[in-house]
Structure 1
Amino acid sequence: MTRYLVSEENPTGRKLEDILIELRADVLIRCTKISNDLRPEALHVLANNVKVLEHLTEAVELAQDSTNLLNRAFGPSQADQGGPPRIGEA
């Protein structure tokens, strides 16, 4: 399994919000590429992608909120330096 997120086993991983932001940017690029296609199928896909963008934005905000909460409560993560997880089991 590919490991993207920071964890004890993957200290050099990425934060969830960073992955979601990158994904959102890719969807936005796809939207701009089909924005002038007026065929019904393209319009339908574009409308779906706009909804996906809304959900991704909500997910980014939730992930950032969790990171901010953990930073306030426990300080910055030390996982990239071999430190223990801030919450949960090791």
Structure 2
Amino acid sequence: MTRYLVSEENPSGRKLEDILLELRADVLLRCTKISHDLRPEALHVLANNVKVLEHLTEAIELAQDSSHLLNRAFGPSQADKGGPPRIGDA
């Protein structure tokens, strides 16, 4: 079903927010590497990356909110132990 996220079929997968946090850190690192490059292309890419960082932050917050909601409603996920999904079809 999924290659990256934890699921019944992929118990060693990761939580969405953890993947997004790592991705955001990578984009931020790239931003720091080009932050002193004043060529128009670099400034354009940096501006785009800043927008991407904003979207990633919003996505992280949404993913964390969903995890908190599911934890409150159904308890901790057991998918990493081969358990069933907390919502949706098994």
Moved over 4 A (4+): none
Tell me the alpha carbon deviations over residues 3-42 of structure 1, each in whole angstroms, 9 at most, x when there is no partner: 1101110011000000000000000000000000000000
Distance, in Å, in 1 between the alignment partners of 2:20 and 2:80 is 20
Distance, in Å, in 1 between the alignment partners of 2:40 and 2:65 is 38
Residue 2 of structure 1 deviates from its aligned partner by 6.9
Distance, in Å, in 1 between the alignment partners of 2:75 and 2:2 is 27
The answer to whether the Cα contact below 8 Å between 2:2 and 2:10 also exists between their aligned partners in 1 is: no
Point out where structure 2 has 5 or more consecutive residues left out of the alignment.
none
Q: Secondary structure at the match of 1:73?
A: helix
Distance, in Å, in 1 between the alignment partners of 2:79 and 2:63 is 17
Normalising to structure 1: TM-score of the pair? 0.97
Residue 63 of structure 1 deviates from its aligned partner by 0.2
Residue 82 of structure 1 deviates from its aligned partner by 1.3
Distance, in Å, in 1 between the alignment partners of 2:15 and 2:75 is 15
Residue 81 of structure 1 deviates from its aligned partner by 1.1
The RMSD of aligned alpha carbons is 1.2
Residue 80 of structure 1 deviates from its aligned partner by 1.0
Tell me the alpha carbon deviations over residues 33-84 of structure 1, each in whole angstroms, 9 at most, x when there is no partner: 0000000000000000000000000000000000000000000000111111
Point out where structure 1 has 5 or more consecutive residues left out of the alignment.
none
Identity %: 90
Distance, in Å, in 1 between the alignment partners of 2:82 and 2:51 is 39
CA 1:29–1:62: 2 relative to 1, 3 Å: same
